Structure 1
Amino acid sequence: MHKVEDLKIWRKSIQLSKSIYLLMPELPKDEKFGLINQIKRSAVSVPSNIAEGAGRNSNKEFKHFLGIANGSLYELQTQLILIIELNLTKNQNVQTLIDACIEIQKMIYSLQQKL
C-alpha cells in the first residue's frame, strides 16, 4: 500500500480536478447535464482511481488503477479540446488544463514502469 497523500501524481490530479470545477461555471448552463457533468466525472475519476490503486494490496492492482486513471485523463483531455472547438468559453486557461492532463499522463506512465 502507498500513502496517497505522499504521491505527487495524486496531488497534481487533485489540483487539476479543482481547476476543472472552477472552470465549469463559465460554460453555458444548457451544458449542465451534458458536457459539464461528464467533464466533472472524468476529472474526479483521476485522483479517485489513483487513490484506490494506492490503497490496494499489490503493485499489480495499483498499476491497473493507474491505467483506469489514465483513461479518464484521455477522456478529460478530449472533452477540454471539445470545449475549445465549440467555443464554449473565452477562458484561456483551458489549454493549461490540457497541458496538465498530458503532464499527469506522463507521470502515470513513468510510475507504471516503476511498479
Structure 2
Amino acid sequence: MHRFKGLEFWKKSRLFCSEIYAITSKFPESEKFGLTNQLRRASVSIPSNIAEGSSRQSNKDFSRFLQITLGSAYEVETQLLIAPDLNFITHEELDPLLKSLESIIKMTSKFKSTLK
C-alpha cells in the first residue's frame, strides 16, 4: 500500500481540481449540466482514483487505477480544448491548465511504470 497524500502527483491533481472548479464557475449557467459538470467530475476522478488505487494490496491493482486516472486526465484535456472553441475560456486561461495537466500525466505515467 502507498500513502497517497505523500504522492506529488496526487497533490498536484488535487490543486488542479480546484483550478477546474474555479474556471468552470465562469462558464455560462446553461452549461451547469453540460461541460461544467463533465469537467468537474473528470477532474475529481483524477486524485480520487490515485487515492483509491493506493489502498489496493497489489501493484497490479494500483496500476489499473492509475490507468483510469490517465483516462480521466485525457478526458479533461479534451474538454478543456473544447472550452475555448465555445468561447467559455481564453487561450491565456487554457495554457496554464494544460501545462498543469501535462505535468500530472507525466508524473502519473512515470510512477505507474515503476509498479511493474
CA-to-aligned-CA distance 1:75-103 (integer Å, 9 cap, x gap): 00000000012211247222211111111
Structure 2 Cα separation of the partners of residues 13 and 61 of structure 1 = 20
**Secondary structure of 1:26's aligned partner:** coil
**Map 1:4-43 → 2, pairs under 5 A:** 4-43=4-43
Q: How much identity, in percent, do the aligned residues show?
A: 42
The residue aligned with 1:63 is 63
TM-score, scaled relative to structure 2: 0.94
Contiguous gaps of at least 5 residues in structure 1: none
Structure 2 Cα separation of the partners of residues 92 and 39 of structure 1 = 18
The residue aligned with 1:84 is 84
Using the TM superposition, give the Cα deviation of residue 46 of structure 1 relative to its aligned residue in structure 2, in angstroms. 0.2
Contiguous gaps of at least 5 residues in structure 2: none
Structure 1 Cα separation of the partners of residues 54 and 42 of structure 2 = 19
**Structure 1 residue runs of 4+, over 4 Å off?**
none
- The amino acid across from 1:81 in the alignment is L
Structure 1 Cα separation of the partners of residues 104 and 71 of structure 2 = 11
- How many residues align? The count is 115
Which piece of structure 1 moves more, 89-98 or 103-112? 89-98
The residue aligned with 1:95 is 95
CA RMSD of aligned residues (A): 1.1
